Structure 1
Amino acid sequence: MDGVQSGIASLADTLPKLVAELSSFWLLVQFGILLAAGAIGTVAGILIRRRVDLTSVTMGWPPMLKLLARSFLECVGTIIFIVILFIVREAMLSLTWPSRSYLLGVAVSLATAWVVIALVTSLIRNQFIHRVVSIGAWTFAALDILGLRMAVRAELDSYALVVGGLRISALTVIKGTVLLLFTLWIANAFSDFVDRRLRTVNDLTPSVQVLISKVLRILLITFAIFIVLSSVGIDLSALAFFSGAIGLGVGFGLQKIVSNLVSGIILLADKSIKPGDVVTIGDQVGWVTNMGARYTSVDTRDGREILIPNEDFVTQQVINWSYSDNRMMLKSLFGVSYDSNPHHVREVAVAAALKVPRVLHDPAPVCYFEEFGDSSLNFSLRYWIADPNNGIINVRAPVMLALWDAFKEAGIEIPYPVRDVRITREAPMRGKTGLEPPGD
């Protein structure tokens, strides 16, 4: 309470003339000017925003300048309010005592701080961080303008908790939270910028691009945390206890998490799996869409997206259909009647496969005569595609339809099993069972 009382006393000392003239008409004049300037700024801002087509004006601008322009247009009413108050206050300062325009000066300072903070924080796209940083920065600026910053600082610092040799106060928590959010935003923004640049470098494989991006993001976040801890006055040596607890937790309960993290780094380093690969692990077949720190996302193209731990890709057998070459061979099995000419069947099947757009001509499809079946001659048609990430079943189905149409046109019959059932009457056996048939 002493800090609050000293703050109030400090504010009273800075506003002696205003307190003395609370009953004068100058206070009402300043309130009237504030209301009039606010109304003019609001109406002018609405009219300007209606007339300005921001999309056409900022066409071709960099994204950052577009954000600043949008924020400036939203604050144009407040800017007009500031300009009006500044002109009126300068005129009053030249005609009367400074105390008679003090409220106008405070309003100009608060509104200016609000506009500057709004323009700067408009670059933060995360809405939560945007609001926290905006409110925190404007609160700090308002306390400083009103002369209450030191008093509030001392009051917040008086509420503290000592853990071991570490003193944590309410002021430390607030400062640390705001600084942490701001530094994490900067780290993530810079990491995203580098990630976009890496994707344009064709000399780096996708896995190396992801590895560099992940490692850089981790380093930047760690660096940001250390900066915040040092800024709020926390001795990093006091965190030795917590690092020991984390090591103990890794030893007892976090083996799988650490294993997945290390496995993810190994996968990115040895380039055995990369985004876009077609893989088979266990009985799951799909396309690698994203490689995270803990798991790899595999899209099965049936509405499911399987999150497979990175450790499974290192410890289990994995089939990578596009490891060294994006081309993938598919096989379609079929059978024809025994009345068909196998040589003609092979020619018709190859020609039918080549009619499907996604089937490659080089290497060309091949049809093999596999075996003599119970009721059909069995063949296998093998063909290649260059884009397995676009789907497999949507190639096999057109190939089978093309085979059906080609066989119908060529008069080749596709048989279906026929079973003949013959019932014969077997003569009873003669023996000593006493069941002999009657004599002739």
Structure 2
Amino acid sequence: MDREIVSWLQSLRDSAAEFFNALLFFGQTMLLPSRLQQIGVALVLALFAWVLSRWLAPRVDAWMHAQEGRPKWQLRLFIVLRRRLPLILYMLLIWGAVWVFAAAYAFPSRRYVLVLVATIATAWLGIRLAAQLIRNRLVRTLAVWGLSIWATLYYLDLLDETSSALDAIAVRFGDFELSALSVIKAVVLTAALFTAARAVTIGSSRRIRGMADISPSMQELLVKLLRIGLYGAAFFIGLKAVGFDLTGLAVLSGAIGVGLGFGLQKVVSNLVSGVIILLDKSVKPGDVISIGDTFGWIEELGARYVSVVTRDGKEYLIPNEDLITGQVVNWSHTNEFVRLDIFFGTSYADDPHAVRRIAIEAALSCPRVLQHRAPVCHITGFGESSVDYILRFWITDPTGGLTNIRGNVYLALWDAFKAQGISIPFPQREVRILGEAPTWGAAGPASEAPPDGARDPSAK
């Protein structure tokens, strides 16, 4: 064990010495008078580019505000270029200096440093522009810095020495050796694969969701399988790039299986229920459902839950298991037709045939009530004080609300009954409290006289 540590330290020291020697040699080559002159020109141009960008920035912003009518992709491009204005100006100035030095001096060494700086500046600008394709800010920042460092070392001809130094920084686990260089390669490769997987997933999802011959449930299932497959492949390829033996995942999968058996039963149940929901097509995005006291339409089918949006703007995340084991009312499972019932009563003095006709006409006057599935009105019974009716009508847009269409139909009935002189009776009762003497006078019946014992003595 001690020999391995000594050997590792010796290898690390040799790699570090090789890297610093190469860096020292490069620094010594920069001390030539002609190259010091070029370094000075590059620094002066950097300062001038910064001052010029500060002067141009307000004018560029004013010009961009005047371009608001352009397409969005052009506006985004203008914003990206505006943020890179100092680097763009510096790149143009440094390449202009290269052209001037090439015209003034015939020897390439008299412009070597300027060409090197201009090439690195161009590479930095290209990396920053290309990184805008990465949406995640953290991944984009890591990609910009990582590729910028790599490009700088590549053009400075220090890439081999840096790779050797990073490869010497390693940790050994039995027969497996993990070096800093392999970790960096794995991170870069995994990030690139995840970015590519995300781009492919987004493009494929749009195409799958645009296929009208595939049901919405099957579309969601295909999208989720594609996403899981691509991201899983990216992860395992990244592990393989490090040199990790994938057969060792058997132990990890066994531990995960034990954990599922003890503590993750609900999670797995919801995941499996989500797959079942997608396969049996019992619910799909856009369906209007009722589950318990929740009424709304399905916004999204997740891996663990179903997102249901109600009419008041609330979004309920219902576990998939509840939709499998509980009772769910799907208002639009096989078709979009929904029948609603409302109840009312009229006076016995009104003609029931006329009441039924007027009620149907009132329902048809509401815009959301279907005409081709005509409403019907039936007598349901003879009540204490009214003839009871039920009015049934159909709609095709339950997402527009049920309470509001019922209220509109009730209001149409009210207006129609008032116009036709049809009355809606209600019971009227007289309530007397036992144990209290009745009060006679203006409040009492006019036809009845109070008993003799209740008369005022002054009247005698």
Partner of 1:265: 275
Residue deviations 1:87-134, cap 9 Å, x none?
422543561765554542332122111111122111122323222222
Unaligned runs of 5+ in 2: 1-11, 436-460
Query: Could you list the runs of 5+ residues in structure 1 that have no partner in the other structure?
Result: 426-440
| Aligned equivalents of 2:70, 2:431: Cα separation in 1 | 85
Question: Which amino acid in the other structure matches residue 189 of structure 2?
Answer: L
Other-structure match for 1:438: none
Q: Supply the distance in 2 between the matched residues of 1:78 and 1:423 (Cα, whole angstroms).
A: 94
Residues in 1 aligned to 2:160 and 2:34: alpha-carbon distance in whole angstroms:
26
Question: Partner of 1:329 in structure 2?
Answer: 339
CA distance in 1, matches of 2:99, 2:351: 104
Displacement of 1:350 in angstroms is 0.9
CA-to-partner distance for each residue in 1:64-88, whole Å, 9 max, x for gaps?
Answer: x875675456546534432331242
What does residue 7 of structure 1 align with? 19
Q: Alpha carbons of 1:7 and 1:101: their partners in 2 closer, same or farther (altered >3 Å)?
A: farther
Amino acid paired to 2:387 = L
By how many angstroms is 1:294 displaced? 0.8
Higher deviation after alignment, 91-100 or 144-153: 91-100
Tell me which residue corresponds to 1:217. Answer: 227
**Contact between 1:41 and 1:78, CA under 8 Å: does it hold in 2?**
no
CA distance in 2, matches of 1:66, 1:168: 45
| Residues 1:178 and 2:188 aligned together | yes
Q: Would you say the 8 A contact 2:42–2:94 is kept in 1?
A: no
The structural deviation recorded for 1:375 is 2.4
Is this contact kept in 2: 1:369–1:380, CA < 8 A? yes
Contact 1:156–1:170 (Cα < 8 Å) also in 2: yes
1:11 CA displacement: 1.7
User: Aligned to 1:81, which of 70, 80, 90?
Assistant: 90
Residue aligning to 2:28: 16
Q: Which amino acid aligns with 1:16?
A: Q
The equivalent of 2:429 in structure 1 is 419
Q: Which residue in 1 is equivalent to 2:362?
A: 352
Contact 1:43/1:77 (<8 A) preserved: no
- 1:216-255 superposed matches below 5 A: 216-255=226-265
Q: Secondary structure at the match of 2:207?
A: helix
- Distance (whole Å) between structure 2 residues aligned to residue 153 and residue 351 of structure 1: 85
- 1:289 pairs, out of 279, 292, 299, with 299
Counterpart Cα distance in 2 of 1:195 and 1:26: 53
Rate the CA distance shift 1:353–1:77 in 2: closer, same or farther, 3 A. same
- Determine the C-alpha separation between the residues in 2 that align with 1:24 and 1:317: 81
CA RMSD across the alignment: 3.1
Does the 8 A contact of 2:296 with 2:309 survive in 1?
A: yes
More deviation in 66-75 or 261-270? 66-75
**Aligned positions, number:** 421
* Offset of residue 38 of structure 1: 5.1
Question: Structure 2 vs 1, CA of residues 375 and 150 (structure 1 numbering), >3 Å: closer, same or farther?
Answer: farther
Pairwise CA distance, 1:24: 6.1
Name the counterpart of 1:383. Answer: 393
User: Aligned to 2:133, what secondary structure does the other structure show?
Assistant: coil
- Within the candidate set 121, 136, 141, 1:111 is matched to 121
CA distance in structure 1 between the partners assigned to 2:121 and 2:38 by the alignment: 21
Kept in 1, the 8 Å contact 2:182–2:241? The answer is no
1:205 pairs with 2:201: no
- Whichever residue aligns with residue 377 of structure 2, its letter is C
Instruction: Indicate how the Cα distance of structure 1 residues 379 and 163 shifts in structure 2: closer, same or farther if over 3 A, else same.
Output: farther
Matched residue of 1:122: which SS? helix
Which residue is equivalent to 1:318? 328
After TM superposition, the structure 1 = structure 2 runs for residues 150-189 of structure 1, keeping only pairs within 5 Å, are 150-163=160-173, 166-189=176-199
> Within 5 A, what are the aligned runs for 1:367-382?
367-382=377-392
SS at match of 2:252: helix
User: Offset at 1:322?
Assistant: 0.7
Distance change >3 Å, CA 283–CA 402, structure 1 → 2? same
The structural deviation recorded for 1:55 is 5.6
The alpha-carbon deviation at position 40 of structure 1 amounts to: 4.9
**8 Å Cα contact 1:106-1:145 kept in structure 2:** yes
| Distance of aligned partners of 1:30 and 1:271 in 2 relative to their CA distance in 1, 3 Å threshold | closer
* Contact 2:273–2:321, Cα closer than 8 Å, also in 1: yes
Q: 1:147 to 1:49 in 2, by over 3 A?
A: farther
Residue 122 of structure 1 pairs with residue 132 of structure 2: yes
Give me the whole-angstrom Cα distance separating, in 2, the residues matched to 1:288 and 1:421. 51
Moved more, 215-224 or 179-188: 179-188
Q: Tell me the TM-score normalized by structure 1.
A: 0.85
Q: Deviations over 1:5-30 (max 9, x none)?
A: 43221022234332354996564344
Is contact 2:39-2:114 (8 Å) kept?
Answer: no
Q: CA deviation at 1:46?
A: 6.7
- Equivalence for 1:35: 47
Distance 1:109 1:45 in 2: 25
Tell me, yes or no, if the aligned pair for 2:309 and 2:315 is still in contact at 8 Å: yes
Q: Is the 8 A contact 1:10 1:147 kept in 2?
A: no
Determine helix, strand or coil for the equivalent of 1:326: coil
Give deviations 1:339-383, integer Å, cap 9, x for gaps: 322222111111111111001012111112112223222211111
Would the alpha carbon gap of residues 156 and 415 (structure 1) be closer, same or farther in structure 2, given more than 3 Å must change?
A: farther
Q: Distance in 1 between matches of 2:131 and 2:35?
A: 40
Give, in whole Å, the separation in 2 of the partners of 1:89 and 1:39.
Answer: 21
Letter in 1 for 2:398: P
Letter in 2 for 1:81: Y
> Cα deviations across residues 238-297 of structure 1 (Å, max 9, x unaligned)?
322222222222222222222211211121122110111111223322211110111101
Tell me the amino acid that sits aligned with residue 250 of structure 2.
A
Moved more, 151-160 or 9-18: 151-160
Contact 1:21 1:27 survives alignment (8 Å): no
Is the counterpart of residue 301 in structure 1 residue 299 in structure 2? no
Q: Identify the match of residue 137 of structure 1 among 144, 147, 161.
A: 147
Quick one: which amino acid aligns to residue 9 of structure 1?
N
Deviates more, 1:71-80 or 1:305-314: 71-80
